[in-house]
């Protein structure tokens, strides 16, 4: 029998630390793209509009940067966790997409060979981190809402101790759906048995409209005496002032 503890049990003891680390890796990759250096524009779009094709690979690269942290936390040898995502490349590393936009799993590649010999110490098999990245449509809050929720719901079907949703949203009152998305995340996790105690859920919303400031919205799942909430984490300083 494997001697290492299950992934969920380890994560449950270090929830805030895991949240901070995953967000830190994402921010390091994504924040540089937010400093739009293209031609002047009065369109009202944020850098997400200009750099959306670069944002998705940056998300995968940032999540992949978490690998050494999780390998150390789970007591796994370096290279034990393998990232899978839809745009594997030299910078982001990893293998082709499996199940979701991004998964990081513990895997023994040799098991796929016919001449495979059982390991003396079996590796724990499972997904350590699962993520979906969905920007939606720059000109449609309603379509964006549906696309983001559809991808979020996919994560409910997967067992993983760390789940991440990176998504596009709208902040201004006329187009606003950022709060609607947050509230729907909370409703699903709170009332539809979508949350497993000890799990980390990290949500990062990037606005399509606004200005060039770092206006990302970060939320996490928190279980308290009044039930589960999707709320701003205590460790997050908030969006930059624009």
- Asked if residue 112 belongs to a domain, the reply is yes
Q: What is the pLDDT of residue 2?
A: 47
- Asked if residue 242 belongs to a domain, the reply is no
**Strand, coil or helix: 103:** strand
Instruction: Report how many domains make up the chain.
Output: 1
- Asked if residue 177 belongs to a domain, the reply is yes
pLDDT: which is higher, 210 or 179: 179
* Dihedral angle sign, alpha carbons of residues 89, 90, 93, 94: positive
- Asked if residue 2 belongs to a domain, the reply is no
Q: What is the pLDDT of residues 45-98, one digit of tens each?
A: 787 877 888 888 899 999 999 999 999 999 888 888 888 887 655 444 555 666
Q: What is the pLDDT of residues 118-161, one digit of tens each?
A: 666 566 678 999 999 999 998 888 899 999 999 999 999 888 99
Distances (CA, A) of 128 to 74, 82, 117: 9, 10, 25
pLDDT: which is higher, 88 or 7: 7
What letter would DSSP give residue 84? E
- Alpha helix positions (H), 75-166: 141-155
- Asked if residue 105 belongs to a domain, the reply is yes
Q: What is the pLDDT of residue 3?
A: 44
Q: Which helix (H) or strand (E) holds 128?
A: strand 126-134
- Asked if residue 239 belongs to a domain, the reply is no
- Asked if residue 16 belongs to a domain, the reply is yes
Q: What is the pLDDT of residue 12?
A: 92
- Asked if residue 241 belongs to a domain, the reply is no
Q: Which of 232, 121, 230 is nearest to 182 (CA)?
A: 230
pTM for the model stands at 0.88
Q: Which residue range forms the structural domain that includes residue 135?
A: 7-231
14 φ, ψ (degrees, to nearest 5) = -140, 40
């Amino acid at each position: 029998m494997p001697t290492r503890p299950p992934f969920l049990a380890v994560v449950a003891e270090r929830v805030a630390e895991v949240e901070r680390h995953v967000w830190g890796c994402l921010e390091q990759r994504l924040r540089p793209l937010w400093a739009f250096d293209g031609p002047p524009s009065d369109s009202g779009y944020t850098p997400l509009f200009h750099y959306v094709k670069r944002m998705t690979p940056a998300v995968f690269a940032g999540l992949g940067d978490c690998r050494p942290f999780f390998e150390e936390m789970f007591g796994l040898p370096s290279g034990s966790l393998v990232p899978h995502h839809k745009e594997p490349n030299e910078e982001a590393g990893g293998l082709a997409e499996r199940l979701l936009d991004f998964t990081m799993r513990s895997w023994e590649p040799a098991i796929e060979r016919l001449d495979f010999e059982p390991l003396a110490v079996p590796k724990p098999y499972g997904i350590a981190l699962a993520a979906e990245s969905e920007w939606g449509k720059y000109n449609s809050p309603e379509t964006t809402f549906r696309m983001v929720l559809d991808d979020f719901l996919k994560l409910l079907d997967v067992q993983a101790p760390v789940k991440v949703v990176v998504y596009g949203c709208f902040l201004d009152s006329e187009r606003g759906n950022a709060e609607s998305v947050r509230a729907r995340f909370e409703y699903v996790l709170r009332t539809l048995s979508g949350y497993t105690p000890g799990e980390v859920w990290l949500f990062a919303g990037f606005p399509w409209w606004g200005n060039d400031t770092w206006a990302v919205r970060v939320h996490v799942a928190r279980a308290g005496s009044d039930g589960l909430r999707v709320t701003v984490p205590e460790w997050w300083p908030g969006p930059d002032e624009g």
